[in-house]
Amino acid sequence: MPRKPSYDRDELIERARDLFWQRGWAGTSLKDLEAVLQMKPGSFYAAFGSKEALFALAMERYAADGRERLKALVQAHGPIRALQRFPKMVVENDAAPAKACMLSKTLLELHAHRHPLAQVANQHLLSMEAQFAELFQQAQSSGSIGGAHDPQALARRYQSDLLGLRVSAEREGVDAAAIADEIAGGLSAL
């Protein structure tokens, strides 16, 4: 009996993610979303419930995409080469709505207000860190890097470097590709 929605929900989430990623939480108004999603307020709230709920979906999608891109890199080049290529790939992706990490942007914007979305962002960052640690672990097992290092510590430092890189990449007048090369180079010394 019912009527199907006229939209592709996944594609809407994707478009919302790009908008949120670029403009942030407070910087994205419902009017902006209505324009990009081609939805009136009623449809919007019927579909997603609230701006906050959609933002959470957008972050989930963002994190999932990141995991997949890294996984693909691992499939093609192995763990350590993947970790070396990842920074440059992120920085050189001109199709992305922003260079900076959506999760860190969200965290920085909302942490002081103890906004739930800040914690969600941190959770996703933790899961990314775990993925990095797993790759360092694999690289160690296969002998690609020395066994003296703690994979957790390597992951922690790698993620911090990546976050710094992506803040730098958002700036103008900074050669982010050079920083990405140095991060990759640092992994060769392990």
Partner DNA sequence: GGCTTTCTTGAGTGATCGCTCAAGTATATA
Partner DNA sequence: TATATACTTGAGCGATCACTCAAGAAAGCC
- Please check whether residue 36 is in contact with residue 16, taking contact to mean a CB–CB distance below 8 angstroms: yes
On the 0-12 / 13-18 / 19+ scale of CB atoms within 10 A, 34 is: middle
Nearest to 56 by CA among 126, 142, 141, 116: 116
Q: Is 46 in the site for DNA (CB under 7 A)?
A: yes
- Binding flag, residue 89, its own copies (CB under 8 A): no
Question: Could you say which of 14, 34, 168, 190 contacts its own copies (CB under 8 A)?
Answer: 168
Q: Which of 39, 58, 63, 128 binds DNA (CB under 7 A)?
A: 39
Single out the residue of 7, 71, 76, 186 in contact with DNA (rule: CB under 7 A). Answer: 7
Q: Does 129 bind DNA (CB under 7 A)?
A: no
Contact region for its own copies (CB under 8 A) — 3-11, 67-75, 133-141, 168-176?
Answer: 168-176
How many residues are given for the chain?
190
Q: Is the separation of the CB atoms in 111 and 26 below 8 Å?
A: no
CA distance to 2, 57, 105, 118, per residue, from 102 (Å): 37, 13, 5, 11
Q: Does the footprint of DNA cover residue 1 (CB under 7 A)? A: yes
Which tokens sit at 103? 């999760």
In the complex with its own copies, the residue whose CB is nearer, 1 or 189, is: 189
The sign one gets for the Cα dihedral 11, 69, 166, 105 is positive
User: Is residue 80 within a helix (H) or strand (E), and if so which, with residue range?
Assistant: helix 79-92
Does 160 help bind its own copies (rule: CB under 8 A)?
A: yes
Number of residues this chain uses to bind its own copies (CB under 8 A): 40
Binding to DNA by residue 45, rule CB under 7 A?
A: yes
- Answer for which of 10, 35, 40, 93 binds DNA (CB under 7 A) is 40
Residues binding its own copies (CB under 8 A): 22-24, 26-27, 98, 100, 104-105, 107-113, 122, 125-126, 153, 156-157, 159-165, 167-168, 170-175, 178-179, 182
